[in-house]
Structure 1
Amino acid sequence: MKTISTALFLFLGYACFAQSQRQIENQMAFAKFYGYVRYFYPGDDAAKLDWDKFAIYGAQQVDRCKTDEELKENLNAMAKVLMPGVSIVPGSEKIVFPANLKPKNLNGYQEITWQHLGVGLLNDKRSLYQSARTNRKTVFKNKFTGFGNLSTLLPAKDITGKNFVLSGRGKMLSDDGQGQFWVRVDRENGQMGFFENMDSRPIKSKTWQNFEIKGIINEDARQLLLGAFLVNRGKFAIDDLILKVDGKEIYHRDFEDETVGSEPKTISGSTGRSSVENAKYVFSVNTEQQNKFAEVASPAIIESESLEIKPFQRHAKFGEYVEKPISKNLKIFVPIVLYGTQNQTFPLTDSVKVNKQLSAINSISGDKLTVNNLYLRIGNITNTWNIFQHFYPYFDVAKTNWTADLEKSLTESYQSNSDVEYANILKKMTAKLKDGHISVWYTGNKNQYYPPFAWDWIENKLMIKSVMDSTLKLKKGDIVEKINGQDARKYFQNIYEHISAATPGYLNHRAKTESLIGEKDSPFNIVLANGQQVSTSRKIHSSSYSADAFKQEAIKSLGNDITYISISHAKMKKIDESIELLKSSKAIICDLRGYPTDNTGLIEYLMVSDDTSSKWMQIPQIIYPDQEKLITYQNERWPLKAKSPHLNAKIFFLTDGQAISYAESYMSFIEHYKLATIIGQPTAGTNGNVNSITLPGGFSMWFTGMKVLKHDGSQHHGVGIIPNIYVNQTIKGITEGRDEILERAIAEASK
């Protein structure tokens, strides 16, 4: 058996080698071991583990095991000190519940076991999803998030259409957080122009780093904003901010005339976002070696608090255990209930050995946790796989072989060594789950730019829907046959494999943008059906890019006593102010091809009686692994009530595959109570509050954390809200600039 120090040495030496089938079997065994002990073993010492780092550590420990016996010894060695009662044995061995797990005298002892309401991953007492042990307080470590921003605004009147360079230097004054500089151009039409915030190249070093942001100020620019910000926690120093336009310096801040200890007066500080109420960033002028600079510091907050959380009443009883195969020849035994006093679970452990092992695992420094580390890549797959294995509520819809998906993802992780490659492994793995909420993110992602056009599959052809560059020899209605030298359908097939979607409509909605995004200024070449080649580059930032062909106004009259409401833009205040217009309308067309704003009160104007459905949103209450045995639910609802005045007009709702989550909750009332005629395409078929996974190395993702049904109890996931009248877009209609779904609604309203 390797000692802790040897294992740690090997762990810190980044490995890169081809894997054998034996290694994959070892990693799969550890992955199953990991999930059972992390989420269902209730011991106090195990609860002190940094489980993200334990996943990485364990992956290294088992990787070179050559036999089942060696694998068994390694897994038992990991469990022995921190998880008394857990054992790995041959699959044929009969297990008897160990008598030494029960104290001789039960006075002062209580049962300790896990309860999972969904699964608590956010470490936030405000979260809808919680995991807690009975008769134990849950420690909520305050993972503060937010950003503090220093900025200045310059009128763009005399600098439009010109080249600029923003330069300066920055460094971190702490181990936590990261700093970024930024430039944004606001245009006269209210839209964003040039934008860059160094998201793909943040400053993390504690030594001064020089930077430059280069670009062209939009011809219709109204103003230019620039500055620097600190992300999350830490302290960030900035100095020598210089803006040059066509080579001429027009802005310079070096803070030498500022007062040390005071807030800078030549640049404005503001808290852009804070996860802790009333916690504000601090902005000041500091100095070192007779050089002054501006500093952004995160707020001082309470590091952690312990609260007794009781997610629900039901829990496992002493004597219950997990006995599961983890490989072809090995199985695991895990007691899922232990006795414990107020101070320690039983059996008692050797505190010296416990602290030594906890320190070896938990103290691994953050700078070692990068995607270059093979065991980080494997550990993150193990971590992610188990969250879905034990808590994802839609395997009955996804119908994937999740164990085979684990094997494939582990195998691919051995060959991957870049952020982009590894993110694609996570995307392909989670695409099998058919969950439209799943999006994989990673720090330093450079794929944030689009070419100046939008497209979509219409009538089984890839058609250009809009063009944002008048100099491009491309027009609405052009058909694309090749993309970067590849057949369009084959190109899209690869895109589809990396998108998690529950319905074809949402898959297409995501694919039409995912197929275009890439690094700034990267080339993008297409061949049209007429043989014409079009070459361009990705130059529009995602914050400025819009693939929508039709602009939606909040509320407007369409003539003939027909009123249009964009549910994505009309605030409830605007709807209330327009109530007389709505009351006098013969028909009202509500457009929910997108995401609603704060206007669910409109539904109440349509209802004739109060809502009575109370079990359509269900949070799983889980106490056993692998989602086996009885799963109960905590029911949630929207308590909507009929409101006066009731709108008696003919009501139509427009929707399509991009309507997801909150939009589908909204539409579920329209469908269930038959409040309107629904026109368009099925919605995304993905609803329910999201949960969030944060992984070492800067990777994260969202997923659906609860089960949502239709109000009558039937399946919603993968089905969506089905329109009463289907409308398919046509090449002819889009080429002519017509909104065919809205046209059909107007025709129906005019009858």
Structure 2
Amino acid sequence: MKVVLQLLLFVVFFNTAALAQVSQRDYNLDFKQTKNNLPIGWHIVNSEGYDIGMDTSQLASGTPPLKIKSVAEVNSGAGVLVFDIPDNLAGKSLTFVAKIRTENVSEEGQVGIYGHVHHKVDFKNLEDLKINGTRDWKDYSITLELAPEETDKISIGLYLIGSGTAWFNELRLFVDYKNYKQAPVFESTADSIYRSSSRLSPFELNDQNQKLLKDVALVWGTIKYFHPSVAEGKWNMDAELFKFLPKILSLQSEEQQEIEFINWIHKFGEIPSRLNNKQDHNEKNELKLRTDLTWIAQLDYSDKLKKILLQLSEVEPPDQHRYIAYFAGPDHPDIKEFSYTKASVDDIGIRLLGLFRYWNIIQYFFPYRYLTEQPWDGVLEEFIPVFHRANTFSAIDSAYLKLFSKINDGHAFATLSTYYNTTVFGNNGVGFKIKIINDKAVVAALGVDSLDREKGLLVGDVIYEVNDIPIVEYIRSRRPYIAASNEKTALKYMEPILFQTNEDQLKIKFSRNDIESFISIHTLNLDSIRSVPEKSSPPFQIINNRIGYVQPGKFKEKDLEPFLNLMEGKEGLILDYRQYPAEEMHQLFSDYLFPEKKTFVRISNNKGLSPGEFAIKRSSAIGNYNPNHFKGKVVILIDEGSQSAAEFQTMAFQTIPGTVVIGRNSAGADGNFSSIPLPFGFKTAFSGTGIYYPDFGETQGIGIVPDIYVEQTIEDVKSKKDRILQTAIDLF
């Protein structure tokens, strides 16, 4: 799909097609208005080698379809027809539907529709469906996210990649699943001037204004998440921050600053009376975490400001909030924020907004805030100078990675300025994989580019130094950038990036059979590194004719019946959760393995509570009374790579009497994750619900603790021995 993406970039920068002939509320999706055999308003983009136009020789649903045909029998290009929507449609989603027919589309080619919400809001196509060959008429659709406040233009298009012919007809467009003609058009507001810039002038940081910025972040977050007028959507809190910062930074005395803070809070409207039934409200829920407002008492201002902030914190939580919603079911936060994809990294206000936003979301919506290794208010103070000076993508990427690591959560994924975080770690890597064991890097697998080297590294070689730097120093230098719930998992996440570099060559000191040697290896661009494909393995098999073995990462619902047929009379079952499950395995096996209904997990969330509060409000149970359940032994395999759904399902299977868990502690990052949009189009996430055993025992950080612990050794890697699996087999 790189061809289509390149064409889209061409459209963004060079398209000047006039759309005046198309009615603002009729986008000519039925192709009834044509000129020069093309639908008016649509235009061909960079489609040499293709004929594109209306096919009047046939009718589809009573009208001629649009045809894209490759002129040559062999064609490596693409034919693309584009329509730029003349309106900034206001809504949450845009759905584009079209009927498509294909004829003799080459095997390496494909056909589809696409949508692009510029600038960097969303892009979707049908690449995953691989539509080629000869196919009859069928509806296909894509759904894109809309963000009117950040949208420059919306484009939709039709494409054929490779040779063959494709027809398109009955195009339909929906905004929030209603006909686009009914959708409102977004209108700019006075705050629209802040869409791509904070308009805050650069300033020097000193001890006084660093402390002041911390106070601003704290007060701003309290207004944003507690004030009812903000919840109602009356205020753009990013813009309010940008307006407030120049005022507060210009003031020198604490007395003036306090007055400005008080006036700022009053600007948002009257604060409702204290919630009289707050204590009763809390007692109705099993509160796992209370709102942390200790910072209010620590402010260097008078009691007047502190009382106003405390009064604000007691406001009844609203049913709906502009910036926070909740996903149905798990009730984890759905965070609504602008992404500022067009902002410059030089913009100090946008950088501070990112820090303030992230800090307050964790402060008020992270169920495991109490488990962070460093007190959370100290993190804000530490990172203000970091974000203040981070005026390059290398610096801001580094700042965010270090910030995300502070929440000690394996769900803190990072999508920053580059895919591999090359601005921080480098563009090159090595053509082999490693395992970190006892502060040593052990070669675990060779890549395609490593296999033909006569004097290269071998699996099992132990690397002690790189460029005269001990491996332990490499590990120590990388650790601050790794977001993980425990140390074992942090090392696992570190393995792919340990030798990421901008160097063209690495000098490696290693040991093989207790003999130390040196080797210089050339690094490779990360995009060019080729892994050796893993040997395919089935989703299930029978071991030693008596033990069922299942890989949840490959096992699908269709596999259940044939697998159960093979399990007749078998002694036991091994479920290997050292992979992310493709299905809800505990539900698939519910009628087969579980003898009775049991609660296996309790879940905390913030829905309906004040920001910062989390209560145990839900639980999950599995199974029903079943005297005919499987009577053999059930064994679960886990390690530091077992995360989230793998952990959740393991907890369910642990309710089966006699179940044995073997391996190493899991990742300790369970629960549905919530995404956080950040400035510059960045994104991260966090565990949005708290997951606990029925007795309220913790899993976050600790992970699932195995009944039989199996440590990995260097010899295991060298011999490619799976001691966890072998330990499980030996139980039978």
> Which TM-score applies when normalising by structure 2?
0.60
Which of 589, 601, 604 is residue 574 of structure 2 equivalent to? Answer: 589
Note the 1:571-720 alignment, pairs <5 A.
Answer: 571-598=556-583, 599-605=585-591, 607-613=593-599, 616-621=602-607, 623-624=609-610, 627=613, 631-641=614-624, 646-720=629-703
Q: Which residue of 2 aligns with 1:423?
A: 397
In 1: Cα distance, 2:238 partner to 2:658 partner: 48
Q: Which residue of 1 aligns with 2:440?
A: 461
In 2: Cα distance, 1:119 partner to 1:658 partner: 36
Which of 535, 538, 556 is residue 553 of structure 1 equivalent to? Answer: 538
DSSP-derived class of the 1:578 partner: helix
Q: Which amino acid aligns with 1:726?
A: Y
Which of 411, 426, 437 is residue 385 of structure 2 equivalent to? Answer: 411
DSSP-derived class of the 1:557 partner: strand
Which of 438, 443, 450 is residue 412 of structure 2 equivalent to? Answer: 438
In 2: Cα distance, 1:591 partner to 1:365 partner: 39
In 1: Cα distance, 2:372 partner to 2:305 partner: 37
Is the CA contact (8 Å cut-off) linking 1:52 and 1:695 kept in structure 2? Answer: no
Is the CA contact (8 Å cut-off) linking 1:378 and 1:413 kept in structure 2? Answer: yes
How has the CA–CA distance of structure 1 residues 616 and 66 changed in structure 2, closer, same or farther, with 3 Å as cutoff? Answer: same
1:75-125 Cα deviation digits (max 9, x unpaired):
3454443344599999664549999xx9xxxxxxxxx95537999856677
DSSP-derived class of the 2:223 partner: helix
Is the CA contact (8 Å cut-off) linking 1:590 and 1:654 kept in structure 2? Answer: yes
Instruction: Report the CA distance between 1:31 and its aligned residue.
Output: 0.5
1:197-224 Cα deviation digits (max 9, x unpaired):
xxxxxxxxxxxxxxxxxxxxxxxxxxxx
Q: Which residue of 2 aligns with 1:153?
A: none
Q: Which residue of 2 aligns with 1:115?
A: 317
Q: Is residue 713 of structure 2 the alignment partner of residue 739 of structure 1?
A: no
How has the CA–CA distance of structure 1 residues 539 and 372 changed in structure 2, closer, same or farther, with 3 Å as cutoff? Answer: same
DSSP-derived class of the 1:700 partner: strand
DSSP-derived class of the 2:650 partner: helix
Which of 440, 451, 471 is residue 430 of structure 2 equivalent to? Answer: 451
The answer to which of 739-748 and 652-661 deviates more is 739-748
DSSP-derived class of the 1:37 partner: helix
In 2: Cα distance, 1:27 partner to 1:385 partner: 13
DSSP-derived class of the 1:532 partner: strand
Q: Is residue 461 of structure 2 the alignment partner of residue 473 of structure 1?
A: no
Which of 212, 222, 228 is residue 36 of structure 1 equivalent to? Answer: 222
Q: Which amino acid aligns with 1:480?
A: I
1:429-459 Cα deviation digits (max 9, x unpaired):
2322211111121244453774321111224
In 2: Cα distance, 1:476 partner to 1:605 partner: 43
Note the 1:168-187 alignment, pairs <5 A.
Answer: none
DSSP-derived class of the 1:48 partner: coil
How has the CA–CA distance of structure 1 residues 744 and 117 changed in structure 2, closer, same or farther, with 3 Å as cutoff? Answer: farther
How has the CA–CA distance of structure 1 residues 444 and 60 changed in structure 2, closer, same or farther, with 3 Å as cutoff? Answer: farther
Is the CA contact (8 Å cut-off) linking 1:589 and 1:652 kept in structure 2? Answer: yes
Note the 1:8-27 alignment, pairs <5 A.
Answer: 15-16=201-202, 18-27=204-213
Is the CA contact (8 Å cut-off) linking 1:653 and 1:677 kept in structure 2? Answer: yes
Instruction: Report the CA distance between 1:33 and its aligned residue.
Output: 0.5
How has the CA–CA distance of structure 1 residues 512 and 82 changed in structure 2, closer, same or farther, with 3 Å as cutoff? Answer: same
Is the CA contact (8 Å cut-off) linking 1:121 and 1:692 kept in structure 2? Answer: no
In 2: Cα distance, 1:727 partner to 1:375 partner: 50
How has the CA–CA distance of structure 1 residues 545 and 16 changed in structure 2, closer, same or farther, with 3 Å as cutoff? Answer: farther
Is the CA contact (8 Å cut-off) linking 1:46 and 1:83 kept in structure 2? Answer: no
Which of 532, 540, 554 is residue 518 of structure 2 equivalent to? Answer: 532
In 2: Cα distance, 1:723 partner to 1:365 partner: 41
How has the CA–CA distance of structure 1 residues 80 and 712 changed in structure 2, closer, same or farther, with 3 Å as cutoff? Answer: closer
Instruction: Report the CA distance between 1:567 and its aligned residue.
Output: 1.6
Instruction: Report the CA distance between 1:540 and its aligned residue.
Output: 4.6
Is the CA contact (8 Å cut-off) linking 1:59 and 1:379 kept in structure 2? Answer: no
Q: Which residue of 1 aligns with 2:369?
A: 395
Instruction: Report the CA distance between 1:536 and its aligned residue.
Output: 2.8
Is the CA contact (8 Å cut-off) linking 1:45 and 1:82 kept in structure 2? Answer: no
Instruction: Report the CA distance between 1:365 and its aligned residue.
Output: 11
Instruction: Report the CA distance between 1:522 and its aligned residue.
Output: 9.1
Instruction: Report the CA distance between 1:367 and its aligned residue.
Output: 6.9
Is the CA contact (8 Å cut-off) linking 2:232 and 2:321 kept in structure 1? Answer: no
In 2: Cα distance, 1:694 partner to 1:610 partner: 43
Note the 1:11-160 alignment, pairs <5 A.
Answer: 15-16=201-202, 18-43=204-229, 47-84=233-270, 93-95=302-304, 115=317, 126=328, 128-129=330-331
1:474-512 Cα deviation digits (max 9, x unpaired):
111111122355321111112221222222222222121
Q: Which residue of 1 aligns with 2:707?
A: 724
Q: Which amino acid aligns with 1:391?
A: F
In 2: Cα distance, 1:98 partner to 1:497 partner: 38
Instruction: Report the CA distance between 1:398 and its aligned residue.
Output: 2.2
How has the CA–CA distance of structure 1 residues 90 and 518 changed in structure 2, closer, same or farther, with 3 Å as cutoff? Answer: closer
Is the CA contact (8 Å cut-off) linking 1:118 and 1:705 kept in structure 2? Answer: no
Instruction: Report the CA distance between 1:64 and its aligned residue.
Output: 4.3
Is the CA contact (8 Å cut-off) linking 1:455 and 1:465 kept in structure 2? Answer: yes
Q: In percent, how many aligned pairs have the same letter? A: 19
DSSP-derived class of the 2:693 partner: coil
In 2: Cα distance, 1:572 partner to 1:669 partner: 18
Is the CA contact (8 Å cut-off) linking 1:517 and 1:538 kept in structure 2? Answer: no
The answer to which of 410-419 and 59-68 deviates more is 59-68
Instruction: Report the CA distance between 1:662 and its aligned residue.
Output: 0.5
Q: Which residue of 1 aligns with 2:23?
A: none
Q: Is residue 541 of structure 2 the alignment partner of residue 562 of structure 1?
A: no
Note the 1:496-515 alignment, pairs <5 A.
Answer: 496-515=479-498
Q: Which residue of 2 aligns with 1:212?
A: none
Note the 1:130-279 alignment, pairs <5 A.
Answer: none
How has the CA–CA distance of structure 1 residues 715 and 444 changed in structure 2, closer, same or farther, with 3 Å as cutoff? Answer: closer
1:667-713 Cα deviation digits (max 9, x unpaired):
10222334522111111112111111101211211101111101332
1:386-419 Cα deviation digits (max 9, x unpaired):
1111222113322421111111111111221122
Instruction: Report the CA distance between 1:532 and its aligned residue.
Output: 1.0
Is the CA contact (8 Å cut-off) linking 1:554 and 1:569 kept in structure 2? Answer: yes
Q: Which amino acid aligns with 2:216?
A: F
Q: Which amino acid aligns with 1:28?
A: K
Instruction: Report the CA distance between 1:626 and its aligned residue.
Output: 5.0
In 1: Cα distance, 2:576 partner to 2:371 partner: 29
1:584-633 Cα deviation digits (max 9, x unpaired):
32232221111111133454255443333176122134644554xxx534
How has the CA–CA distance of structure 1 residues 501 and 119 changed in structure 2, closer, same or farther, with 3 Å as cutoff? Answer: farther
How has the CA–CA distance of structure 1 residues 699 and 536 changed in structure 2, closer, same or farther, with 3 Å as cutoff? Answer: same
Q: Which amino acid aligns with 2:317?
A: Q
In 1: Cα distance, 2:405 partner to 2:639 partner: 21
DSSP-derived class of the 1:613 partner: strand
In 2: Cα distance, 1:737 partner to 1:644 partner: 41
Is the CA contact (8 Å cut-off) linking 2:231 and 2:318 kept in structure 1? Answer: no
Note the 1:213-362 alignment, pairs <5 A.
Answer: none
Is the CA contact (8 Å cut-off) linking 2:410 and 2:484 kept in structure 1? Answer: yes
